Structure 1
Amino acid sequence: MNSIPYIDILILAMIAIFIINRLKNVLGKKTGNEQDIVEKFTQKRSSFKESEPDKTSQTIDTKNKDENSQRKFHKNPKINDSLKNIHALDLNFSIDDFITGAKKAFEFIISNYSQENIKSLKKLLSDEIYDDFDSQIKERNKNKENLDITIISIKDTKIINSKVVKKNTAFITVNFLSEQVQITKNPKGDIIEGDSNQILDISENWTFKRNLKNKDPNWILDTIEESE
């Protein structure tokens, strides 16, 4: 009975030797899939290689230039060429967006000028226009008069001139034909100028200016002239 444990140990030893021999035969043996693994790894690494210059973006740039040369911005050839030049310098420039913005600026500037909110117009006006508005408001305050301007409607808005100066400063002149009621009151509230029941047809040329190299997309009002 005492010899049985030794037999068990002997059997276990033989099994261990058998397993070791099998491992020696298997370890280091090629399976035939090594090349596939290498290729897959190489493909993964190749995806991180520095790409060549993007020919697609170059094609798009060329396409944009071609489209710009064919695009029509205005029926007047001279104005059309100038607006094309502006668009070439600023690809985000849009006639529709500009006209929409000009209308909003027209209403906002007149409203705040009438209400004497001159500081709110500082970033929208050239220094000359700002100083003119400020002087007019101070003169009315001195005389204790109030100007009331109500825009009834903007009947027409059209670009009548455009130019680019020094290769980066753009000027666009817009004619605004609007219906307005303009009255001036004294301290008692009596109307001393104008008629609250009279609607005036006002035609003015507003010239907007913008440095196209400036990141700020907003245009400022540079000059105001009465339309002939």
Structure 2
Amino acid sequence: MSGGFPVDLILFAMVAAFLVLRLRSVLGRRTGFERPRREGPGAYDPAAQRQLPPAEAAADQPPPVVADDTRRIVPDPRSPVGQALLRIKGVEPSFDPLGFLHGAEGAFRMVVDSFAKGDRETLRMLLADDVYAGFEGEIARREAAGETQRSEVRAMQETKIEAADLRGTVADVTVRFVSDQVNLTTAKDGSIAAGHESVTELVDIWTFQRDLRSEDPTWKLVATQSA
């Protein structure tokens, strides 16, 4: 975790019901984060158009092409990390590193938003037990103190796969997020307890994990750190 934030597609303030719908579109079958079929790993072309799945897309419909300014970087297939990604693809042929980055960005935005709102239900679906315990503990402390958290991801500058590992059928993928955020904690009396109104560049490194043979398509967040 970094800044005022202790550790999607996604992108934004929504009520719990909408968050759950967005979760299914981000971490479900069509993003490449779990269940897509797209091109294999390779160098990212920033001039190329990219695909993001709409929340309403049917499972058998291709996602629309959407351009944005985020730099998404996947490792060279010949590198050690690239080789690990190829091993993951060998177990799950639909795995696509670039699609995974889209989904990871969605999960990142959703977790930031849900943590600020104290949305335990959404966090529980996205986080491993020990990570959830840390988030929930901070939410409880904030509630007891009468504090209000405001966290906004204003822009995602870069997402990059930094590490990957496969142990049996359990895959770990570590992503480096560079984002512009506003993080502000307001005390019960309305004063600023932490953070500020200005936009700050933050670097977070999150590790997602999934058993590739599991029926559950969700990659859970299992570790966080700030760079």
Shorter chain as denominator, the TM-score bin is 0.5 to 0.7
Residue 218 of structure 1 is matched in structure 2 by 218
Partner of 1:170: 171
Residue number among 152, 156, 172 corresponding to 2:158 in the alignment: 156
Provide the C-alpha distance between the structure 1 equivalents of 2:98 and 2:160, rounded to a whole number of angstroms: 11
Does residue 117 of structure 1 match 2:122?
no
1:26-175 map, 5 Å: 72=42, 74-75=75-76, 77-165=79-167, 167-175=168-176
Amino acid in structure 2 at the alignment position of 1:110: V
Letter in 2 for 1:153: A
Of structures 1 and 2, the one with the larger relative CO (CA 8 A, separation 6+) is 2
Q: Which residue of 2 aligns with 1:64?
A: none
Amino acid at match of 1:177: V
- Residue type at the aligned position of 1:184: T
The DSSP-based 3-state class of the residue aligned with 1:187 is: coil
Q: Which amino acid aligns with 1:181?
A: V
| Deviation, structure 1 residue 190 | 2.2
- Separation of aligned partners in 2, 1:205 and 1:194: 20
Q: How far is the alpha carbon of 1:90 from its aligned partner?
A: 0.2
Question: Residues of 2 paired with 1:217 and 1:97: CA distance?
Answer: 14
- Is 1:194 equivalent to 2:195 in the alignment? yes
Q: Which amino acid aligns with 1:183?
A: L
1:173-193 CA-partner distances (Å, limit 9, x unpaired): 000000011111111322222
Cα deviations by residue, 1:68-111 (Å, 9 ceiling, x for unpaired): 7xx64622610011000000000111112211110110001110
Give the corresponding residue for 1:36: none
Query: Counterparts of 1:195 and 1:122 in 2: how far apart (Å)?
Result: 28
Structure 1 outlier segments of 4+, above 3 Å: none
Task: Return the index of the structure with the highest Cα Rg.
Answer: 1
Q: Please report how far the alpha carbon of residue 217 of structure 1 lies from its aligned counterpart in structure 2 after TM superposition.
A: 2.1
CA distance in structure 2 between the partners assigned to 1:188 and 1:74 by the alignment: 48
1:208 deviates by: 0.3
Counterpart amino acid of 1:226?
S
Aligned-partner SS, 1:132: helix
How far apart are the structure 1 equivalents of 2:160 and 2:177? 7
Task: Provide the secondary structure at the position in 2 that maps to 1:135.
Answer: helix
In 2, Cα distance between equivalents of 1:182 and 1:200: 8
Alignment partners' CA distance in 2, 1:193 and 1:207: 26
- Could you tell me how far apart the structure 2 residues matched to 1:138 and 1:99 are? 31
- 1:3 counterpart residue number: none
- Which consecutive residues of structure 1, in runs of 5 or more, have no partner in the other structure? 1-66
Give the residue type in structure 2 aligned to 1:92.
S
TM-score (norm 2): 0.66
Aligned length: 157
Query: In structure 1, how many angstroms separate the alpha carbons of the residues matched to 2:193 and 2:217?
Result: 41
Per the TM alignment, residue 215 of structure 1 is displaced from its structure 2 partner at its CA by 2.3
Gapped regions of structure 2 (runs ≥ 5):
1-38, 43-73
Look up the SS of the partner of 2:181 in the other structure.
Answer: strand
> Which amino acid is 2:226 matched to?
E
